[in-house]
Amino acid sequence: MAKVHYEPYKAIKYVGTKAKVFNTSLARPKPTLKKGDIVIVDKVTAFNLVNKGFGDFVYEENIEFVKADKASK
């Protein structure tokens, strides 16, 4: 498994039921999040979205990817 390293930022997962435009993003166009999408943001933004109730987010502690088997391609 490959692990994603993203310090000093925080990873948060969207757990809302409806697709939502992520207005906090500086990216243009604004990304639309679906349930299960993970966003990496600064610590203050993560705290506000998770703990202050400004969104349907939870902290995501570990992000790991299973490497694809080259023979399956």
Residues 2-60: tens digit of each pLDDT: 888 889 999 999 999 999 999 887 778 989 999 999 999 999 999 999 999 777 999 99
Q: Provide the sign of the torsion angle of the four alpha carbons 41, 9, 64, 68, taken in this order.
A: positive
For position 32, what pLDDT does the model report? 94
Strand order in the sheet with 38-41: 38-41, 10-14, 57-59
For position 41, what pLDDT does the model report? 92
For position 71, what pLDDT does the model report? 58
